[in-house]
Amino acid sequence: MTGRHQKPASNGNSNSSNDSSGNDKHHHHHHRRDRSNSHHHHESHRKPQSKSDLWKGSINKDIGNSIIVQMVGMESANHTVYARVDPDCAASPESLASISIGKVIEIMVDEGWRHVVKDILEKHVHVETADSYPKAGELLQLGAVWLVNETAYAAGDSAHARRLSPKDENDTPDWKDMTLRVHYVPDRFFVAHEFDWTKYCKGLLLDNCTSAIINGRKAHVPMTGLPDEKDGVIVYEDYDIGFAVLNKPGGMPSHSTISNHAEDVISMFAAALKQRRIGTSTEHPFLSLPLRVEPEMHGLIVAATKKEFCTFMTKQLESTSASESDGVTHPTTSSNAGEFKTYRCLVCIRDPNDIDRIEKMVNRTIEHYVDVRSPTPKTFVRNKPKASNHEWQHCLMKITSVGSQASNFRAACVMSKYSDSNDFTLAHRLWGPNMEHPAEDLGVQYVMQIDVQLLTKCPHQIRGQLAALGIPIVGDAPYGGGTCEMRMHRHMWRRMAVQICHLEFSLPKWDEETEHTGEKKRVLVNDDEKKCVFHLNTAWWSDYLLDYERYSPVTTLDTTNVQQVLDVNCMSL
Q: Tally the residues of the chain.
A: 573
3-class DSSP assignment, residue 513? strand
CA of residue 390 relative to chain centroid, distance: 27
What's the pLDDT tens digit per position in 325-358? Answer: 444 444 444 334 467 899 999 999 999 999 999 9
Please, how many CA atoms are within 13 Å of residue 255, restricted to the half-sphere of its CB? 21
Q: pTM for this structure?
A: 0.84
Contact in structure between 34 and 133 (CB atoms under 8 Å): no
CB 456 within 8 A of CB 332: yes
Report the C-alpha gap between 464 and 299 in whole angstroms: 19
What's residue 572's pLDDT?
36
Residue type, 560: T
Read off the DSSP letter of residue 293. -
Supply the pLDDT for residue 336.
41
Region of poorest pLDDT, from 81-95, 278-292, 526-540 = 278-292
The per-residue pLDDT for 331 is 46
- Condensed to tens digits (0 to 9), the pLDDT of residues 177-234 reads 999 999 999 999 999 999 999 999 999 998 779 999 999 999 999 999 999 999 999 9
> Average pLDDT in the 308-326 region?
73
Q: How do the residues of the chain divide into helix, strand and coil, expressed in percent and rounded to 5?
A: 25, 25, 50
Strand partners, 512: 522
d(CA 184, CA 556): 55
Q: How far apart are CA 162 and CA 159, in angstroms?
A: 9
Could you read off the pLDDT of 374-411 as tens digits, one per residue? 999 999 999 998 877 888 999 999 999 998 766 667 89
Torsion angles phi and psi, residue 562, rounded to 5: -60, -45
Average pLDDT, the chain: 84
Start-to-end CA distance of the chain, whole Å, equals 13
Residues whose CB falls within 8 Å of the CB of residue 232, separated by 6 or more in sequence, listed in order? 195, 196, 197, 198, 199, 200, 201, 202, 225
Name the least confident of 17-21, 160-164, 430-434, 443-447. 17-21
Is 259:142 a contact under the CB 8 Å cutoff?
A: yes
**Res 158 pLDDT > 50:** yes
| Lowest model confidence (mean pLDDT) among 14-18, 172-176, 288-292, 529-533 | 14-18
Q: Of the candidates 114, 133, 252, 255, which has an alpha carbon nearest to the alpha carbon of residue 182?
A: 133
Confidence at 29, pLDDT banded by 50, 70, 90:
very low
> Rounded to an integer, what distance in angstroms lies between the CA atom of residue 328 and that of residue 394?
9
φ, ψ of residue 337 to 5 degrees: the values are -110, -15
The residue ranking higher by pLDDT, 518 or 226, is 226
Selection from 487, 480, 541, 485 nearest residue 345 by Cα: 541
The answer to whether 125 and 159 are in contact (CB under 8 A) is: no
Helix, strand or coil, per DSSP, at residue 241: coil
State the Cα–Cα distance between residues 165 and 161, nearest whole angstrom: 13
Summarize the confidence of residues 367-373 as an average pLDDT: 96
CA 465 – CA 450 distance, rounded (Å): 13
pLDDT tens digits, 218-247: 999 999 999 999 999 999 999 999 999 999
**Confidence band of 319 (pLDDT split at 50, 70, 90):** low
At residue 122 the predicted structure's pLDDT band, cuts being 50, 70 and 90, is: confident
Q: Is the pLDDT of residue 527 over 50?
A: yes
Contacts with 339 (C-beta within 8 Å, 6 or more apart), sequence order: 291, 302, 313, 316, 317, 503, 504, 505
